[in-house]
């Protein structure tokens, strides 16, 4: 075996994956064609190692949005189309940063609400279909939020119909904003319970649940610690770019 050649197990050990994962990377087109010796053993090079490292960085969970962009990125790198790979990497980084901006804006919105700034303080009570139309959500969504304990809606004693007033509107706006920003129902419910107990400070930290704080720590949901996940994903996106730059340097040195 050539001094420069590496075995499947060598790549797996360096990256920290099972040998079958390396074989899957090859089968999925994430590595350049791998030559074989007279005994039909694979002979990987440093280039294959760094391509496998890129695949591990880019396509392992968690990732943001459609996996197809990241898959295209890794395959482009394997075909030595590194300009396309770096373009996709920067596009992905921009996507993560936009999501982080939306999330941080939602947290500022939450803080304003929690500090006592009223939303539409003079609003007259409305029924559920009117509220759904006003907030651009479905009636089923409003009912689900109530069933999940995110909000308690008073009812008209005479008709039994739900009556949404200013307090309910403010709470619904916060729920909608946080859900659209990517936070899970569990994280929002935990935060709102703290709010209902009188907590008004540090609610964003409550939103960013740790697994130990969650109702079911055996189930990891990325949205239960969404903001910190986005920070981590942004750093990983930057590392993906650095890895493609390393592949570019290797390609130019050969």
Res 122: pLDDT: 63
CB 183 within 8 A of CB 106: yes
Residues 156-170 have pLDDT tens digits of 888 888 999 888 988
CB 171 within 8 A of CB 137: no
Residue 215 pLDDT greater than 70, yes or no = no
Using alpha carbons, select from 251, 253, 237 the residue that is nearest to residue 73: 237
Is the CATH code 1.10.287.3510 the one for domain 1-60?
A: no
d(CA 186, CA 181) in angstroms, rounded, equals 14
User: Which whole number is the average pLDDT over 73-93?
Assistant: 97
Global pTM reads 0.78
Res 56: pLDDT: 97
Sign of the C-alpha dihedral computed for residues 201, 203, 205 and 206 taken in this order: positive
Whether omega for the bond prior to residue 222 falls within 30 degrees of 0, making it cis, is: no
Res 213: pLDDT: 45
Task: Give SS3 for 141.
Answer: helix
What are the residue boundaries of the structural domains of the chain, listed by start? 1-60
Under the banding of pLDDT at 50, 70 and 90, the label for residue 119 is low
DSSP 77-136: HHTT-HHHHHHHHHHHHHHHHHHHHHHHHHHHHHHHHHTT--SSTTPPPB-HHHHHHHHT
CB 167 within 8 A of CB 196: no
Residues 19-76 have pLDDT tens digits of 999 999 999 999 999 999 999 989 999 999 999 999 999 999 888 888 999 999 999 9
């Amino acid at each position: 075996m050539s001094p420069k050649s590496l075995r499947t197990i060598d790549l797996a050990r360096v990256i920290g994956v099972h040998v079958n994962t390396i074989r899957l990377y090859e089968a999925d087109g994430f590595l350049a064609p791998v030559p074989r010796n007279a005994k039909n053993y694979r002979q990987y090079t440093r280039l294959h190692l760094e391509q496998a490292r890129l695949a591990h960085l880019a396509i392992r969970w968690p990732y943001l949005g459609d996996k197809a962009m990241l898959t295209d990125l890794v395959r482009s790198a394997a075909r030595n189309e590194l300009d396309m790979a770096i373009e996709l990497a920067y596009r992905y980084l921009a996507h993560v940063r936009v999501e982080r901006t939306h999330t941080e804006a939602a947290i500022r919105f939450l803080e304003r609400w929690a500090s006592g700034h009223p939303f539409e303080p003079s609003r007259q009570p409305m029924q559920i279909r009117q509220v759904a139309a006003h907030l651009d959500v479905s009636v089923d969504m409003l009912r689900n939020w109530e069933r999940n304990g995110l909000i308690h809606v008073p009812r008209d004693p005479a008709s039994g119909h739900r009556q949404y007033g200013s307090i309910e509107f403010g709470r619904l706006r916060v729920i909608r904003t946080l859900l659209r920003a990517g936070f899970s129902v569990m994280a929002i419910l935990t935060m709102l319970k703290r709010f209902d107990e009188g907590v008004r400070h540090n609610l964003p930290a409550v939103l960013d649940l740790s697994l130990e704080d969650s109702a079911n720590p055996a189930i990891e949901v990325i949205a239960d610690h969404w903001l910190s996940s986005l920070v981590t994903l942004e750093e990983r996106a930057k590392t993906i770019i650095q890895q493609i730059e390393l592949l570019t340097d290797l390609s130019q040195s050969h």
